[in-house]
Amino acid sequence: MIRLVVFCFVAFLIFIAATCERPVDLEIPVLNPKLVVVSNFTSAENLLVQVSETQSILDSNDVTYVTDATVELFQGNNLLEELSLVMGTGRIPPFYTTLTTTPKPGIEYMIRVDAPGFEPVMAQSSIPDRIDILNLEVSDLVITPGSNEDELVFSYNVNLIFEDPGAQANYYQLNFFQEVFPYVSIEGDTTIVGKDLRQINFSANSNNNNFIAYFDGGVLFDDANFNGSLISYGFRLQTSINRDTELLGQMFAELRSTSEEYYLFHNSLSRQQLNSNDPFSEPVIVFNNIENGKGIFAGYNQAVDSVLILQ
């Protein structure tokens, strides 16, 4: 809100000027479209890659996905596999996947993407070791009515313990998901009709250099302040359900130990998404590790634990 007030003041300062704004044709350098490669991969799963192309900032057309690319996965100089194209369906756009190769932790992988009309691009990354969640606890549950008549709000403390490996910089993403079961009551019998996993969002108010709420849920942090120690993280979380149609299930915690490039990309992406829209705010440059192109090729590992919230 404070940002909004300041923004209003800025808007006021340029009140007269803004009425005089005029379109200009800036001498934007003509940039050839580049390949955009996106792949966040983890162990024991097929490696998926999405390939699209960059657009001019003035281009208002939908993004173009590249479906005639050659996508190859290497370990050192050894070609492990050429990825296969999977044409998208519905809201899922086309992507490429390995069929036989599942990445393993500690191995440096390289991806090379070549498509007609584009400069070939490549990138490297690896999957760090998994960091196990040593303990996950929920306490101080408070249930209150929500703003809607049929809404119930659950607030509780979550405490999570893990051990950060020393002698190296480590990066993490922590996600919390609330399991929710939609149900119907027919003549007093409750029938669960599905299962939903809702990611819990964090406020950006606590953001700092080493800890940032991910724009799409969860938090990213590094071990700059606690390198090589037993870490106990506590959060106050909140989730809500419809009291008439939903039941609360387990709360899942996913601790991702990420490569540095994963952390830097998602950190900067999140900062750009949260950045103020006023024209004077300094920009955020999103991290990129695709040589000759854009995007991210980064590995991560994950550990999951869950706890049941007793109502």
Partner 1 sequence: MLIVCFSFNLAFAQQLLDQPVSLSAKNVSLETALYQLIDESDVPLSFSNNILPNTSVTINVQAQPLRKVLRQLFQGTNLSFLLEGQQILIFKRKYTTRPKRQFTISGFLKDEATQETLIGASIFDQKTKQGTITNEYGFYSLSLPEGEVEVLFSFLGYTSQVLRFRLDSSAVINQSLQSNLTLQTVEVVGRSGWEQQRPREMSTDYLNPKMVEELPGLGGETDILRAAYLLPGVQTGTDGVGGMFVRGGGAGQNLVLIDDVPVYNIYHAAGLLSVFNSQAVRSAKLLKGGFPARYGGRLSSVMDVRTKDGNAREWAAEAEVGMLTGRFSTEGPIVKDKSSIFVSGRFSYLNWYFRPISERWKLEQGERGSTGYEYYDINAKVNFTISDQDRVYLSLYNGSDGYSNSGLFESTLSILDIARNEVISFQSEQEYSESITWGNTVGALRWNHVFGNKLFANATFTFSQLNVDIDYREVDRLLRLDPTIELFDLLNVGRYSSGIYDYGAKIDFDYVPNASHYIRFGAGTILRTFEPGALSFTGVNEDIDFEGSLANDPIQSTENYFYLEDEVTFGERWLVNAGVRYENLAVQQRNYTVLQPRLFTSYKVNDWMSAKASYSSMAQFLHLLSQSGIALPTDLWVSATAQVSPQRSWQVDGGANFMLGKGLELNVEAYYKRMDNLIAYTEGANVLNNWEDNITTGQGNAYGIELLLRKSVGKTSGWISYGLAKVDRQFELINKGRPFPFKFDRRHDLKLVVNHRLNDWCHLSANWVLSSGFAFSLPFERYIFQEPGSPQDPVVIEDFDAINKYRMPTYHRLDVGAHMRFKGEKIVQQLHLGIYNVYNRRNPLYYNLRTEIVNRNNSLDAVKRFVEVPLLPILPSVSYTVKF
- Those residues whose C-beta lies under 8 Å from the C-beta of residue 75, and which sit 6 or more positions away, are 107, 108, 109, 110
Strand 78-82, strand 70-75: pairing: antiparallel
Specify the residue for token string 């480590």. Answer: 170
Q: Is 286 in the site for partner 1 (CB under 8 A)?
A: yes
What whole-number distance in Å separates Cα of residue 216 and Cα of residue 201? 7
Nearest approach, Cβ of 53 to partner 1 (angstroms)? Answer: 8
Q: Is 8 in the site for partner 1 (CB under 8 A)?
A: yes
Binding to partner 1 in span 20-39, by CB under 8 A: 20-26, 28-29, 31, 34, 36, 38-39
Q: Is 97 in the site for partner 1 (CB under 8 A)?
A: yes
What whole-number distance in Å separates Cα of residue 298 and Cα of residue 42? 9
- Residue in 42, 43, 54, 301 binding partner 1, rule: CB under 8 A: 54
For residue 70, give the nearest of 116, 110, 30 by alpha carbon. 116
Q: Is 204 in the site for partner 1 (CB under 8 A)?
A: yes
- Those residues whose C-beta lies under 8 Å from the C-beta of residue 274, and which sit 6 or more positions away, are 204, 207, 213, 215
Binding mask 116-155 for partner 1 (x = CB under 8 A): ----------------------------xx-x--------
- Residue in 209, 229, 232, 311 binding partner 1, rule: CB under 8 A: 209
For residue 117, give both structure tokens: 């009309």
Nearest approach, Cβ of 300 to partner 1 (angstroms)? Answer: 12
- Residue in 44, 63, 79, 192 binding partner 1, rule: CB under 8 A: 63
Report DSSP letters for 218-247, one per residue: SEEEESTTTTTSEEEEEEEEEEEEETTTEE
Nearest approach, Cβ of 189 to partner 1 (angstroms)? Answer: 31
Q: Is 273 in the site for partner 1 (CB under 8 A)?
A: yes
Binding to partner 1 in span 290-309, by CB under 8 A: 294-296
Nearest approach, Cβ of 114 to partner 1 (angstroms)? Answer: 18
Strand 35-42, strand 294-308: pairing: parallel
